[in-house]
Chain A
């Protein structure tokens, strides 16, 4: 599991690296949770399920991120994720916590989004702050 925050002037740019495309989705959810919480989210007692579908990996990731953001509006941040992708459907089981006073992430964007696969999967995306 690996993610990092990249430099972006106005918004938040995240890079995830994983051996699988499912791992990218897991990392993306955790990265967002850690950003919004301001530090590593500890605790995974609260469970949520996210289901989205899309015509390609970028659209699926975009819609997945949007769902994570919606959950955060209700106070949920993710510390753990297990994603399955079947055809064009993504089903993710998330574990996390309810937290007050999170940092806001307004929306997923396609800005600077790329998902590449050579030896490992590398995804980069920007979320609107």
Chain B
């Protein structure tokens, strides 16, 4: 399940791809392998340029790529994190079961669809002053707690307590303006809110610790830092370009110790905090609807980022680990994870595409040894968007979903074919490879009931 690309040319370390033969067929078709090799040539890279089982072509770095850099000799690259800084997933679990919730699923989905802004340009219902906004960028979920938008438990169950080291002054006025209009919105493309239920338990002990049982209703929220994150990435790519020369522009980077590098990391932290709060606001709206319509609370299982850079201790060495389309996989005993999960490992999620299963996994100590504590983040695309637009009709996607009892509420019918299940890799295969490789342990499977998209 592990393919090693030996160093050649400018590569300083090998490339390491975690994939089955079936997944490799798809990986070889695109440009991901060349990108894995390009990353392996970056200054200060340590150990390997890793690729998760859902890897596919990105820009500069592949999506599903992981790379750790020495903090003194290495670089930080916005492309290694992604434009959608702290795009991530949170999973909530209800106190109601599938049979009961299904009776009201259409109404529930419609209410969510009407309440949570989704789609491009959809503006927030959350009005904040500029001063509040700046404070939110610096304090993340701490700000949300102070302003009655979060419970203490939400901070405990969010990666890094929902707040990274940040400085809002490192974020441009343009980025803030774009972000202020979008706080509390889902966005479009592959972002979604999905109501589902646990339809299979693979590890009952860990599932119990995570609060999951057969038939219980779940809500998964996938979104990130919206246009604020995109603008931060654009701003700093331009700054780095103006200061340094690159063989490949989409690998724009700066030394971690440089002024630009340090400013970018603070801005990245601010954008990450925006994303944590964004998911939290959507959570609060979803909670209100669930309580009102089903009398059920929604408890946060975990919130995890899949586009981020973190300073981490890897085999006794401090590195800046870039994860782009990859999640952190921390096993038992890590003090960075919530106390209640330290005996079993941290939750992480593999959302499938619209209409397919999603998987709840647990982090492993093995991942810390073999993949810089990283795991896949989802199914990964299989078919190009242009081909999906050409070959798949919105009505056929809807018909297939309806056949499987799944309600779809989408703001833009035009995007539906691009997000069709057949446009993505088989998420069950990705989960299986993660499990058998040791990147993460399968705990439970979730079947969708309703999907809300922009």
Which A residues fall within an 8 A CB radius of B?
Answer: 5-13, 36-38, 55, 58-59, 63, 66, 70, 72-75, 101-113, 126, 128-129
Q: How far is the CB of A2 from chain B (nearest CB, A)?
A: 16
Chain B, residues 379-422, CB within 8 Å of chain A (1/0): the string is 00111111101000000000000000000000110110010000
Q: Report the separation of the CA atoms of residues A12 and B384 in the bound assembly, to the nearest whole angstrom.
A: 8
Q: How far is the CB of A55 from chain B (nearest CB, A)?
A: 8
Task: Name the residue of chain B whose CB is nearest to the CB of A125.
Answer: B59
Q: Are A107 and B120 in contact (CB under 8 A)?
A: no
B331 interface contact, C-beta 8 A: no
Could you say which residues of chain B place their CB within 8 Å of the CB of A12?
Answer: 385-386
A111-B230 CB under 8 A given contacts A8-B386, A129-B385? no
B237 interface contact, C-beta 8 A: yes
Q: How far is the CB of B86 from chain A (nearest CB, A)?
A: 14
Q: Are A102 and B60 in contact (CB under 8 A)?
A: no
Q: Are B384 and A128 in contact (CB under 8 A)?
A: no
A9-B230 CB under 8 A given contacts A106-B84, A111-B60? no
Q: Are B121 and A73 in contact (CB under 8 A)?
A: yes
Q: Are B121 and A128 in contact (CB under 8 A)?
A: no
Chain B, residues 293-335, CB within 8 Å of chain A (1/0): the string is 0000000000000000000000000000000000000000000
Task: Name the residue of chain B whose CB is nearest to the CB of A76.
Answer: B121
Task: Name the residue of chain A whose CB is nearest to the CB of B251.
Answer: A110
Within 8 A of A (CB), among B315-370: none
Where chain A touches its partner, the secondary structure class is loop
Q: Report the separation of the CA atoms of residues A89 and B189 in the bound assembly, to the nearest whole angstrom.
A: 32
Q: List 9 A-B contacts (CB under 8 A).
A: A9-B29, A9-B57, A12-B385, A13-B386, A103-B189, A104-B119, A104-B188, A106-B84, A110-B250
Q: Are A72 and B385 in contact (CB under 8 A)?
A: no
Q: Report the separation of the CA atoms of residues A8 and B413 in the bound assembly, to the nearest whole angstrom.
A: 21
Q: Report the separation of the CA atoms of residues A10 and B87 in the bound assembly, to the nearest whole angstrom.
A: 15
Chain B, residues 155-182, CB within 8 Å of chain A (1/0): the string is 0000000000000000000100010010
Q: Report the separation of the CA atoms of residues A60 and B383 in the bound assembly, to the nearest whole angstrom.
A: 30
Range of interface residues on B (Cβ < 8 Å): 35 or more
Q: Are B189 and A5 in contact (CB under 8 A)?
A: no
Q: Are B383 and A9 in contact (CB under 8 A)?
A: yes
B238 interface contact, C-beta 8 A: yes
Task: Name the residue of chain A whose CB is nearest to the CB of B230.
Answer: A107
B452 interface contact, C-beta 8 A: no
Could you say which residues of chain B place their CB within 8 Å of the CB of A58?
Answer: 249
Q: Are B249 and A110 in contact (CB under 8 A)?
A: yes
Q: Are A113 and B387 in contact (CB under 8 A)?
A: no
Q: Are A73 and B227 in contact (CB under 8 A)?
A: yes
Q: How far is the CB of A106 from chain B (nearest CB, A)?
A: 5
Q: How far is the CB of B355 from chain A (nearest CB, A)?
A: 19
Could you say which residues of chain A place their CB within 8 Å of the CB of B178?
Answer: 70, 73
Known pairs A10-B56, A73-B181, A107-B233 / 18 extra A-B pairs, C-beta < 8 Å: A9-B383, A10-B381, A38-B414, A59-B238, A70-B174, A73-B121, A101-B119, A101-B120, A101-B411, A104-B120, A104-B412, A109-B83, A110-B59, A110-B249, A111-B60, A126-B59, A128-B83, A128-B84
